[in-house]
Chains A and B, each alone.
Chain A
Amino acid sequence: MLKKLLPLATPLLAVTAALLLSALFIFATGRDPVAIYGKMFAMTLGSDYGAGQIVFRATTLVLTGLAVAIPFKVRLFNIGGEGQALAGLLAAAAAGTALPEGTPPLLAITFCSAAAVFAGGSVGLFAGWLKVRHGVNEVISTIMLNFIVHAFVGYMLTWHMAVPSTVHTTEIIESAKLPMLDGLLGIWKKSPANMSVLFALAGSLLCYIVLFRTRTGYEVRAVGIRPEAARYAGIDARWHVLGAMAAGGALAGLAATNLVLGYKHYYEAGLSGGAGFLGIAVALLANAHPLWITASAFLFGFLEYGGLTVNAYVPKDIFMIVQAITILMILALPKLPLVKRLQGLLSPRSEP
């Protein structure tokens, strides 16, 4: 039993340690950490609107987290979630405005989501192709692609797609908009939480099933754990690299369903808000496990929105520090001698 819970120990310890450290920071700004945390909980989990905000933010983070996690399974570090998401946002907005008014909702939503998935997936696939064909390190290529996509999207917006004297595109057609959960179920009143949260949850479940229940996933994981053994077993890693990068990009692109179809209904500069980068942290905290990513995304959504709610008392930057410390802890904790010994005690190894 204890052994089963061991993988959870590191993230939990990391989050706790980060929260305690931030309490020190809050204390240093002259506030009472307990009161601040109390207020934060009341205004997020304790309120209908706050909870909806967390769901809304987590939706994006689940998808950008998966965008990092899937390539991670074949030992690739996709830093390009931001660029892939941006490409998806613009594509969804463009698709949504191009459709004739009166397109049936199912068709309109499918078309816009597909455009976003295709755009994000292409950017990811390109990085994968560079890796397979030319051996370009994916960290470098995805970072560079972030710049390229960012510049391209900026150009398209200002020169071709923006409503004059604004920084956003025209609104997408009515039938392409995803229903709010407020309107649909009457929960999380007035919050931006929308139906796309179902897409995100389905995405995480689908990734889990593909990875752990299919032959493709069996090969993918083998490539990630033992690339050389996979080669001997006749597994061509190149296809899995391409597939994982394309899937990662597509998932990041799917974030457009939340931000464009579900929330803003147009693309505006800065809409992604760095969610692509935060996805890296989300995936790391969850150890790239598709299901745990959901939990990790909710935690980060909570920290992000929680920071905003108490911004009047303490700078919200403190909660960005919490996020960063959490990640550093995740990376550093397993290396600490004490933790190593604990793990050694709990998981008996055979003779080395």
Chain B
Amino acid sequence: MEAIVLENISKRFGTVRANREISLVIHKGGIHAIVGENGAGKSTLTKIIYGMLSPDSGRMTLMGRPVRLSSPRQAIQAGIGMVHQHFMLIPDLTVAENIMLGDERSRIFAPLGIENTARNIAGVAEEHGMHIDPFARVGDLSVGEEQRVEILKLLYRNAEILILDEPTAVLTPTEVSQLFDALRSLRAAGKTVILITHKLDEVLRVSDTVSVMRRGRMVATRPTPEVTKSDLAQLMVGRNVLLRVRNPPETPGRTVLEVRGLTCRDARGGTRLSNLSFHIRAGEIYGIAGVEGNGQSELLSLLWGMRDEGMICSGSALLDGVSLLGKTPAEIGSLGVSHIPEDRLRHGVVPAYTISENMIFGRHREKMFHRFAGFDTNGVDDYTREMVRRYDIRCDTEADPPLSGLSGGNQQKVVLAREIGRPGLKLLMLAQPTRGVDIGAIETIHRKILETRDRGIAMLLVSAELDEIVALSSRIGCLYKGTIRHEFSTGEIREGRSREQEFQKEIGLHIT
């Protein structure tokens, strides 16, 4: 039986046709993956299904009945639920309270009956292999557990169709397995799951059917067993892409960054980094594997001179013998350090500034861009054009539009071009360089990272994508609870690349 049938759904934003005549059949009791590059129209389509957007034209049929949903509330009533990429939970309430929230108003003066609900929730959770304490405070949960709360919230509202938007982005490999087990169990119970993702491995692992979107169109829908990873990649970008970038052997030089015994406590006395030590040599990439929240962001902000208020630290971080601790970001930058922050939209760029203005953002103190008290606009424009060409940034340099008009991948390329281009660069710190970036751009970015390494730059790579860490790193430090628990040598990594699945599992053991 069909859970959802979409017929000729179209939606446009201004001149952008986000969805073009999309027809899709989603069968009941299956896991249906929708893949596509960023900007392919996946999120628009799910928002239409979930009632957050209404289509310009087209029809939607739900369980055999034509429907027109105009709000998420209606969608929920119709049995459709959605787990967003960013969870919408209240940290100060318990699991059970969060799940009931929004549903308790029908009996505003009646007792909440939270005990009963909590028992039900725990029961449903166990049934699908999702262990959770209904009385735990959500603020104390791990990301994986929070996601379970989101899913349970939908089940509590009797959702028959669950939409999950990039559900594995923030999970550890173990948590991903647990999530997939839960999804399979839900499928067995007759629920329908729609999975939005761009991780092809996961699509192949868990889905029954996979649909590929490209530039607003639905280009293919196939039973998952009939497709391979490269089939999907090819469908997504419309050409063959190397999923693996060629990584020639590195020739490391002198030690550039030496971090020794770094220990940090936050204002509340919690240990964020504990006796963390590693070194990076010129011309090598030091990858930090680990689940978010184990000290990555503390390490990066410390090395970039942005210690949080009340953070007490000891130990040393020397760049060619010069201490980085206690310096401001401007001073550290002038020593030849570049930093590509993980959340580039919030930290790396000013979206309202033009491309050329962003191309010098953070490097605007360099004399080469100056003219009197202002900027040498012609010089900056020439520099921008040169970078746009070299980094294959898709944009209109003549009009120099605000950066916000560019796709995520192109924005990341702007940041990359700017930071790699820093004169006298010695150390490049990269956090999640390809997060939210489409496959085509990932390839360019990886190639540029390796090129930069071969110029003799020392690199610190922090990424939640084990694939990426394994593919690029010269050495890998496994970060767990603020310390490097294990380090893989260059030889081990080279050998590990040939048996990727097992090697990733090995790494996984050291970070959990």
* A residues with CB within 8 A of B: 213-216, 218-219, 221-222, 225-226, 228-236, 344-345, 347-352
Interfacial chain A residues near B15, Cβ < 8 Å: 348
Interfacial chain A residues near B39, Cβ < 8 Å: 350-351
Given A232-B362, A234-B330, A234-B362, A351-B350 contact (CB < 8 Å): no
Given A231-B306, A232-B329, A215-B375 contact (CB < 8 Å): yes
B81 at the interface (CB under 8 A from A): no
Name B347's contact: one of A213, A225, A232, A349 (CB within 8 Å): A232
Task: Tell whether, in the assembled complex, residue A232 and residue B339 are in contact, meaning their CB atoms are under 8 Å apart.
Answer: yes
Task: Tell whether, in the assembled complex, residue A229 and residue B350 are in contact, meaning their CB atoms are under 8 Å apart.
Answer: yes
Report how far A221 CA is from B43 CA in the complex, Å: 32
Q: What's the least CB distance linking B163 to chain A, in Å? A: 16
Given A234-B333, A351-B44, A215-B347 contact (CB < 8 Å): no
Report how far A216 CA is from B39 CA in the complex, Å: 36
Given A232-B339, A349-B16, A226-B350 contact (CB < 8 Å): yes
Task: Tell whether, in the assembled complex, residue A351 and residue B13 are in contact, meaning their CB atoms are under 8 Å apart.
Answer: yes
B373 at the interface (CB under 8 A from A): yes
Counting from the closest, the 5 A-B pairs by CB-CB distance are A348-B14, A234-B330, A233-B362, A234-B329, A232-B347
Task: Tell whether, in the assembled complex, residue A222 and residue B353 are in contact, meaning their CB atoms are under 8 Å apart.
Answer: yes
Task: Tell whether, in the assembled complex, residue A352 and residue B43 are in contact, meaning their CB atoms are under 8 Å apart.
Answer: yes
Residue of B nearest to A345 (CB): B14
B321 at the interface (CB under 8 A from A): no
Given A225-B352, A232-B329, A234-B329, A349-B14 contact (CB < 8 Å): yes
Q: What's the least CB distance linking B39 to chain A, in Å? A: 6
Interfacial chain B residues near A352, Cβ < 8 Å: 13, 43-44, 47
Interfacial chain B residues near A236, Cβ < 8 Å: 328, 330
Counting chain B CB atoms within 10 Å of each CB, which of A226, A234, A235 scores highest? A234
Encoded as 1 (CB less than 8 Å from any A CB) or 0, chain B from 272 to 314 comes to 0000000000000000000000000000000010100000000
Task: Tell whether, in the assembled complex, residue A229 and residue B14 are in contact, meaning their CB atoms are under 8 Å apart.
Answer: no
* B residues with CB within 8 A of A: 13-16, 18, 39, 41, 43-44, 47, 304, 306, 328-333, 339, 341, 346-353, 357, 361-362, 364-365, 370, 373-375, 405, 407
Q: What's the least CB distance linking A180 to chain B, in Å? A: 35
Interfacial chain B residues near A215, Cβ < 8 Å: 364-365, 370, 373-375
Interfacial chain B residues near A345, Cβ < 8 Å: 14
* Interface residue SS majority, chain A: helix
Given A349-B14, A349-B16, A216-B41 contact (CB < 8 Å): no
Task: Tell whether, in the assembled complex, residue A351 and residue B16 are in contact, meaning their CB atoms are under 8 Å apart.
Answer: yes
Residue of B nearest to A217 (CB): B374
Report how far A161 CA is from B348 CA in the complex, Å: 55
Counting chain B CB atoms within 10 Å of each CB, which of A225, A226, A345 scores highest? A226
Report how far A219 CA is from B353 CA in the complex, Å: 11
Counting chain B CB atoms within 10 Å of each CB, which of A216, A349, A351 scores highest? A351
Report how far A347 CA is from B407 CA in the complex, Å: 17
Interfacial chain B residues near A349, Cβ < 8 Å: 13-14, 16
Q: What's the least CB distance linking B296 to chain A, in Å? A: 16
Name A229's contact: one of B41, B306, B349, B364 (CB within 8 Å): B349
Given A234-B329, A236-B328, A351-B41 contact (CB < 8 Å): yes
Given A231-B329, A236-B328, A351-B18 contact (CB < 8 Å): yes
Q: What's the least CB distance linking A153 to chain B, in Å? A: 36
Interfacial chain A residues near B43, Cβ < 8 Å: 351-352
Interfacial chain A residues near B333, Cβ < 8 Å: 234
Q: What's the least CB distance linking B328 to chain A, in Å? A: 6
Interfacial chain A residues near B329, Cβ < 8 Å: 231-234
Residue of A nearest to B53 (CB): A352
Report how far A233 CA is from B346 CA in the complex, Å: 11
Q: What's the least CB distance linking A35 to chain B, in Å? A: 45
Name B346's contact: one of A214, A226, A348 (CB within 8 Å): A226
Q: What's the least CB distance linking A186 to chain B, in Å? A: 38
Task: Tell whether, in the assembled complex, residue A218 and residue B375 are in contact, meaning their CB atoms are under 8 Å apart.
Answer: yes
Q: What's the least CB distance linking A101 to chain B, in Å? A: 40
Q: What's the least CB distance linking B68 to chain A, in Å? A: 19
Report how far A236 CA is from B327 CA in the complex, Å: 12
Name B306's contact: one of A213, A218, A232, A344 (CB within 8 Å): A232
Report how far A228 CA is from B347 CA in the complex, Å: 6
Report how far A211 CA is from B44 CA in the complex, Å: 38
Q: What's the least CB distance linking B484 to chain A, in Å? A: 25
Interfacial chain B residues near A221, Cβ < 8 Å: 350, 353
Task: Tell whether, in the assembled complex, residue A214 and residue B352 are in contact, meaning their CB atoms are under 8 Å apart.
Answer: no
Q: What's the least CB distance linking A3 to chain B, in Å? A: 10
